[in-house]
Amino acid sequence: MRKIKVAPYMPREVEINEISENRAEIIAYPFESGYAVTIAHPMRRLILGSSIGYAPISIRIEGAAHEFDTIRGMHEDVAVFIINLKNIRFKIKDDSERVELKYSFSGHKEVTAQDLNNDLVEVVNGDLPLATLNEDAQLDFTIVVAKGIGYVPSEDLRDEVSENAIALDAFFTPVRKANYRIEPVLVEDNPNFEKIVFDIETDGQIGPVEAFTNALEVMNKQLSVFAGVLNVDITSPVPKSIGNENELKPFLVTVDSLGLSARSFNSLDRAGIKYLGELVLMSENELKNIKNLGKKSLDEINECLIEHGFGPDFELPESTRSDLVKKLEQLKA
């Protein structure tokens, strides 16, 4: 006999299956029939469209007036060189939104992506070819790498690039694949429940779990527009009670991914604070006593905690506190 319900069943299980460094499955269940696809489809779109990545947006090559030019001593035409460059995946090392990079190569050399590593950027696919130079070659170029989301055509970037620079199509999205499948799952002898299995693969600029959590944050912020109508807080992704290690993950967001200002981040970094959970465990006085952390930075950190569901009214159960302390000690060992 079917029971009368006043609310849909709440899924409680989350599993993460790390297939490789840049690929993972994120599994959640059990959802009532129809709810899984309702959640999964917009999440997939957000993972693909809202994940932050990095891409070159312009290049200036000494001796080249346009992208159909040639460079003496370089085997590739400038057009082929640019195609090779756009396939290289950069990662800005600090919190800058864009950096200007200058390079100079001469003589016989096979220039590859790993030759572009420096103090400002890291190349995550260093084995890709860039250019083949002869003995008499001299290749000097400057590129601008920026942070962004989605795809921006070169036509929209021409006003942002410097004189004599060539604007490039910018493909920021670091997610190579974001698929999901819905599988049946049994709940108390009832087969009409569902499981979501997300299959996410990135290019290495960010990890698949980070891409998923970023999409969750975007969804929560987009839905927060309705908070005033409902008179409830719908922005918190953190459950009130936490029962397993997977549910500790909202506390394990790294500080460098919170979007804090450079002043606030540097203060936390110098204090050795790497994870959001460390801030959650600290009292107001402990936060105030962080060296070189002014009132403005303190207010910014408190606002960030509220955005992640750890506001003044959040209560951390003692069992969860103990588990979190142990997990943080393990990560920082």
Write down the CATH number for the domain with range 53-171. 2.170.120.12
Look at residue 147 in the predicted model and tell me its pLDDT.
Answer: 93
Q: Which of 41-45, 81-85, 104-108, 322-326 has the lowest mean pLDDT?
A: 322-326
Mean pLDDT, residues 123-147 taken together = 94
Residues 250 and 237 sit within 8 Å (Cβ to Cβ):
yes
Q: Which of 75-79, 110-114, 179-183, 318-322 has the lowest mean pLDDT?
A: 318-322
Q: Which residues of 247-256 are buried (b: 16+ CB within 10 A; e: fewer)?
A: bbbbbbbebe
Reported for 59-64, long-range contacts at CB under 8 A and 24+ positions apart, including other chains, are 59/85, 59/141, 59/142, 59/143, 59/144, 59/165, 59/166, 59/168, 60/141, 60/142, 60/143, 60/162, 60/164, 60/165, 60/166, 61/139, 61/140, 61/141, 61/166, 62/138, 62/140, 62/141, 63/140
Question: Phi and psi (nearest 5°) for 225?
Answer: -60, -25
Q: Omega into 30 within 30° of 0, i.e. cis?
A: yes
Contacts of 73 (CB under 8 A, 6+ apart): 133, 134, 135, 136, 137, 138, 139
pLDDT > 90? residue 206: yes
CA dist., res. 155 & res. 302, Å (int): 40
Give the CATH H-level superfamily of domain 236-333.
Answer: 5' to 3' exonuclease, C-terminal subdomain (1.10.150.20)
Contacts of 219 (CB under 8 A, 6+ apart): 42, 43, 46
Mean pLDDT, residues 266-291 taken together = 87
Contacts of 34 (CB under 8 A, 6+ apart): none
Mean pLDDT, residues 69-81 taken together = 93
pLDDT > 50? residue 260: yes
Element at 288 (helix H, strand E): helix 284-288
pLDDT-based confidence at residue 37 (cuts at 50, 70, 90): very high
How do the domains of the chain map onto residue ranges? 53-171, 236-333
Question: Phi and psi (nearest 5°) for 250?
Answer: -60, -25
CA dist., res. 113 & res. 85, Å (int): 8
- In percent, the amount of the chain with pLDDT more than 90 equals 53
Look at residue 71 in the predicted model and tell me its pLDDT.
Answer: 92
Model pLDDT for residues 215-243, shown as the tens digit of each residue: 999 998 888 887 766 555 555 544 443 34
Q: Residue 133 is encoded by which pair of tokens?
A: 């130079």
Higher pLDDT, 261 or 27: 27
Look at residue 183 in the predicted model and tell me its pLDDT.
Answer: 95
Look at residue 239 in the predicted model and tell me its pLDDT.
Answer: 42
As to burial, measured by CB atoms within 10 angstroms (0-12 exposed, 13-18 middle, 19+ buried), residue 320 is buried
Look at residue 242 in the predicted model and tell me its pLDDT.
Answer: 39
CA dist., res. 236 & res. 250, Å (int): 10
pLDDT-based confidence at residue 43 (cuts at 50, 70, 90): very high
Q: Would you give the distance in Å from CA 86 to the centre of its chain?
A: 20
Mean pLDDT of the chain: 87
**Phi/psi class of residue 194: alpha, beta or left (left: φ > 0; alpha: ψ in -120 to 50)?**
beta
Say whether 106 sits in a helix, a strand or coil.
strand
